[in-house]
A = this chain, B = another copy of it.
Amino acid sequence: MIKVAIAGYGNLGKGVECAVSKCSDMELVALFTRRNPDDVKPVSGVPVYSMEKAAEMKNDIDVMILCGGSAKDLPEQTPAMAKYFNVVDSFDTHAKIPEHFANVDAVCKENGTVGIISIGWDPGLFSLNRMLGQAILPDGNDYTFWGKGVSQGHSDAIRRIAGVKDARQYTIPVEEALASVRNGENPELTTRQKHTRECFVVAEEGADLKAIEEQIVTMPNYFADYDTTVHFISEEELSRDHKGIPHGGMVFRTGSTGFDNANKHVIEYKLTLDSNPEFTSSVLVAYARAAYRLAKEGASGCKSILDVAPAYIHPASADELRKSLL
């Protein structure tokens, strides 16, 4: 049994807790929190400890899955934990990945541990598919679409507007753009042509709805470059119809082969997810298996999804996989 621990018990940590329970070769042995451990009541009943106690349990844990946020938690926590444990995280600030990788790599190499960073679906499975597509069809184009799904960042941006009580923002791929890409037309697409944004907003009583809408649709970076629709709804409607955290999207590689480029090919990788955090957690747990196995083989250092041979994430042996699945 692979002994797994979780650091951080938000949506992601809860997802990992459940995903581990679905793996017959893993057991969850500890949950670490920065809150008062007595205030955290995990569904599975796993023991809860203060984050500072982690180092003391060095010999009881095979892999630590980091479930904090990319902005403030992971840049500190992943290297700190990598001193004692094999670690897996979902660091998703694309621009800072090389720096985070270097930090984790240095600690892992010094301490003989394995770190696998930026695991999830984007970065993660989407990155893997972008890379495979480029390598297989060098003469081609990449497209990534997101949604339909909830963007937490955009929802938060709306919530910061005066007069807004709550909000939920959906990112939606434009059907015409998808059709053109799937048809192998290799379109050049502007930001506006790729995605639309749909906002469901609960306004405070007496708020100026016209002004809120105007502030949303003209907001730079977040909405100004998109066709944005704003719906004002009641608090009840929001909690009844928009409680979930669905997401997903598609990665395409389109390209041509042949000396006259006569033959077109379209590779599409599509995710349709009811729960963004629970799916991300499921990917983290599969790569925790890889971290454990790599460390057992004597590997150390930091890796991304691109650096890990796929068979490491599946519970079956290489022989079984070749026989039953290849």
A interface residues with partner B (beta carbon < 8 Å):
15, 18-19, 21-23, 43, 94, 97-98, 101, 118, 123, 125, 127-128, 130-132, 134-139, 182, 184, 244, 257-259, 262-275, 278-279, 281-283, 286, 289, 304-311, 313-315, 318-319, 321-323, 325-326
Contact = CB atoms under 8 A, between A and B. Distances in A.
Given A182-B272, A257-B275, A138 B23 contact: yes
A117 to B, nearest CB: 9
B128 A310 contact: yes
17 contacts: A94-B326, A98-B322, A125-B136, A134-B325, A135-B286, A135-B289, A136-B283, A138-B315, A244-B263, A258-B278, A263-B274, A263-B278, A263-B279, A265-B279, A266-B272, A304-B321, A307-B311
Given A257-B281, A259-B18, A275-B258, A131 B325 contact: yes
A282 B136 contact: yes
B309 A306 contact: yes
Contact of A306 (B132, B268, B311): B311
Contact of A97 (B43, B94, B279, B322): B322
Nearest to A250: B268
Nearest to A269: B269
Contacts of A315: 135, 138
Contact of A134 (B123, B259, B314): B314
A319 B326 CA distance: 30
A125 B125 CA distance: 14
Given A22-B139, A131-B311, A132-B125, A268 B270 contact: yes
